[in-house]
C-alpha cells in the first residue's frame, strides 16, 4: 500500500499555497480533488482520441466510443449493478434525481399519491419532489430527524402507506455526516410497494456500495465528489422501472427511429442520454473509478474514519465548540459552531491561514431550521488528508476563536 506522502504526491493541488500558507483542503464534501491519473486521462483523450461517440464508423469515433463506454462497465462493477445498461450517464446527482422525479413521476405518480423524503435532504433531493408534487397534486411527506441528526425510524414507518409511491433519501448527509441505514429503509418502503431512491453523492466516494444488497430501485452520484471531473455523474435504475419510464429529454441518441408522425425510443441506457455527452468527462471519470478501485474503498473508509476520530477527539477539548450532527454512524465530516461567532467569520479567517472549509447552510436549509442556526462550519476529510493538517487546523481554530471573542 502506498504511503500517505506517495498518495498526496498524486494530487498536484495539495502542494500549492493559499495566502502564503500550505493548502489544507477540508472541503471534500463539496468537491474532491483529482489525481494526475484523471487529469492525464482527460488530456490524453483530447490530444489523441477526440471524436463524437456512437455515430461514426471511422477509427477515432470507435476509439472514443470504447473509452466512453468503458466507464459504464466500471460503474456497474463499482456499485454491483445487475446489468450494465442499468447505468445511465448524467451531469451529476442533481440531474439524476430530476430525471427520476420527472420520468418516474410521469409514469407512476397520480393525484393523491405520496412521496416521502426526510428533513436532512440536500436541496437537490427536495426541490424536484416539491415540483412533482405540485404538478401532480401529490402529497409530500417528510421524515423528521432527532437532536443527534438521525432519522426518526418509527415516524418513517408510520408515514409509509399504500399510497406511498416513492421514497427518496440521502445515504450520507452532506451537512451532518449521518450514515443512514438505507438497506433497512428500502425494505420498509418495498413492503408498501414503493420505489426507493438513494442519494449517494456522499457515499459513493467514501464507502463500498452494493445496490443489489441495498435493493434500492435508484441510486445517484456525482463524479466530482469521486475524484473525477465536474459535470458527470450517473443514475442506477432497476431495468424494470427504467423500461416503463418515459425519456427525460428528446433529441439525438435517445431514438431508434424518427418520422414526422412518430418517434421510436432507443433501448437502455441510450433512451435517457439525449445529445452529445461530456465525453472527456466520462473518460476522466473512468480513470477516477480505476483510482478508487486501486486504492480500495475499504482502505479509503478506514483512513477517513481514523481522521474523523482524531479530529473529533481534538475538537472536544476546545471551549465553546458545538457539534451539529452526532449520529452513531458518521462519515468523515464535522459540522460545528463556535459560541459567540458566525460560521462565515470562522471560515474567512481560516482561509487566511490556508485552510479551506465550507460555511453556510450547505444546501440543507431545513436542517439549519431544525437546529435554529444560521449555518455551520464544515470540515470534511478525504483519505489524502493528514493528522498533521488536523493539528494545524486545531491550532488555527483556537487563534480564530480568540480573535473573534
pLDDT in tens, 158-198: 999 999 999 999 999 999 999 999 999 999 999 999 999 99
The Cα 137–Cα 115 span in angstroms is: 11
Residue 255's Cβ-count burial label (10 Å; 0-12, 13-18, 19+) is middle
Single out the residue in 274, 293, 312 at which a domain terminates.
Answer: 293
Of 324, 392, 400, 402, give the one whose Cα is nearest residue 364: 324
Place of cell 408510520: 158
User: pTM surpassing 0.85?
Assistant: yes
The answer to whether the beta carbons of residues 143 and 168 sit under 8 Å apart is no
Spell out the residues 6+ positions from residue 330 whose beta carbon is closer than 8 angstroms to its own. 176, 177, 178, 179, 308
Active site residue 363: yes
The Cα 55–Cα 395 span in angstroms is: 57
Question: Is the same domain home to 85 and 194?
Answer: yes
Produce one character per residue of 7-37: b if its CB has 16 or more CB atoms within 10 Å, e if not: bbebbeebeeeeeeeebbbbbbbeebbbbee
Question: Is the same domain home to 230 and 336?
Answer: no
Question: Is the same domain home to 333 and 287?
Answer: no
Question: Is the same domain home to 311 and 215?
Answer: no
Question: Is the same domain home to 143 and 241?
Answer: yes
The answer to whether the beta carbons of residues 168 and 129 sit under 8 Å apart is yes
**Eight-class DSSP state of 82:** S
Query: What is the domain-level CATH number for residue 10?
Result: 3.90.1150.10
Question: Is the same domain home to 145 and 178?
Answer: yes
* Domains held by the chain: number: 2
Domain of residue 258: give its range: 39-293
Question: Is the same domain home to 301 and 254?
Answer: no
CA-based end-to-end distance of the chain: 45
Which H/E stretch holds residue 300? helix 297-315
Question: Is the same domain home to 195 and 313?
Answer: no
Question: Is the same domain home to 54 and 157?
Answer: yes
Q: What is the pLDDT of residue 55?
A: 77
Single out the residue in 293, 320, 337 at which a domain terminates.
Answer: 293
ω into 301 cis (within 30 of 0)? no
Contacts of the segment 7-10: beta carbons below 8 A, 24+ positions apart: 7/295, 7/383, 7/384, 8/384, 8/386, 10/35, 10/36, 10/37
Spot the catalytic one: 297, 363, 368, 373.
363
**Parts of the chain with a pLDDT under 50:** none
Cell reading at 398: 483556537
What's the Cα-to-Cα distance from 186 to each of 61, 105, 168, 317, rounded to whole Å? Answer: 41, 18, 10, 39
Q: What is the pLDDT of residue 49?
A: 94
Question: Is the same domain home to 178 and 201?
Answer: yes
Question: Is the same domain home to 176 and 275?
Answer: yes
Question: Is the same domain home to 132 and 19?
Answer: no
Amino acid at each position: 500500500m502506498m504511503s500517505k506522502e506517495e498518495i498526496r504526491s498524486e494530487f498536484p493541488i495539495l502542494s500549492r499555497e493559499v495566502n502564503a500558507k500550505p493548502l489544507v483542503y477540508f472541503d471534500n464534501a463539496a468537491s474532491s480533488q483529482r489525481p494526475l491519473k484523471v487529469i492525464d486521462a482527460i488530456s490524453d483523450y483530447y490530444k489523441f482520441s477526440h471524436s463524437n461517440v456512437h455515430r461514426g464508423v471511422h477509427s477515432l469515433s470507435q476509439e472514443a466510443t470504447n473509452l466512453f463506454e468503458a466507464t459504464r462497465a466500471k460503474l456497474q462493477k463499482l456499485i454491483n449493478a445487475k446489468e450494465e445498461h442499468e447505468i445511465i450517464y448524467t451531469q451529476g446527482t442533481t440531474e439524476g434525481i430530476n430525471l427520476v422525479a420527472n420520468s418516474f413521476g410521469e409514469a407512476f405518480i397520480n393525484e393523491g399519491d405520496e412521496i416521502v423524503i426526510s428533513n436532512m435532504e440536500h436541496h437537490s433531493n427536495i426541490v424536484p419532489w416539491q415540483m412533482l408534487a405540485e404538478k401532480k397534486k401529490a402529497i409530500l411527506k417528510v421524515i423528521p430527524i432527532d437532536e443527534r441528526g438521525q432519522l426518526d425510524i418509527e415516524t418513517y414507518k408510520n408515514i409509509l402507506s399504500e399510497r406511498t409511491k416513492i421514497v427518496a433519501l440521502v445515504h450520507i448527509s452532506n451537512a451532518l455526516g449521518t450514515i443512514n441505514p438505507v438497506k433497512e429503509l428500502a425494505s420498509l418502503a418495498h413492503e408498501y410497494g414503493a420505489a426507493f431512491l438513494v442519494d449517494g453523492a456522499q457515499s459513493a466516494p467514501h464507502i463500498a456500495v452494493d445496490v443489489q444488497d441495498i435493493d434500492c430501485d435508484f441510486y445517484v452520484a456525482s463524479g466530482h465528489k469521486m475524484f473525477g471531473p465536474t459535470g458527470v455523474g450517473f443514475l442506477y435504475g432497476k431495468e424494470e422501472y427504467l423500461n416503463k419510464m418515459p425519456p427525460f429529454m428528446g433529441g439525438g441518441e435517445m431514438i431508434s427511429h424518427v418520422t414526422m408522425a412518430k418517434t421510436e425510443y432507443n433501448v437502455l441506457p441510450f433512451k435517457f442520454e439525449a445529445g452529445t455527452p461530456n465525453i472527456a468527462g466520462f473518460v476522466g471519470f473512468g480513470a477516477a473509478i480505476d483510482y478508487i478501485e486501486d486504492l480500495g474503498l475499504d482502505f479509503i473508509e478506514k483512513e477517513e474514519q481514523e481522521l474523523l476520530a482524531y479530529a473529533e477527539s481534538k475538537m472536544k477539548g476546545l471551549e465553546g465548540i458545538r457539534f451539529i450532527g452526532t449520529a452513531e454512524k458518521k462519515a468523515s465530516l464535522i459540522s460545528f459552531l463556535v459560541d459567540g461567532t458566525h460560521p462565515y467569520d470562522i471560515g474567512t479567517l481560516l482561509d487566511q491561514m490556508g485552510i479551506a472549509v465550507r460555511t453556510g447552510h450547505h444546501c440543507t436549509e431545513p436542517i439549519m431550521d431544525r437546529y435554529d442556526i444560521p449555518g455551520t462550519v464544515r470540515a470534511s476529510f478525504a483519505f489524502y488528508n493528514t493528522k498533521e493538517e488536523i493539528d494545524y487546523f486545531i491550532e488555527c481554530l483556537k487563534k480564530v476563536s480568540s480573535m473573534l471573542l
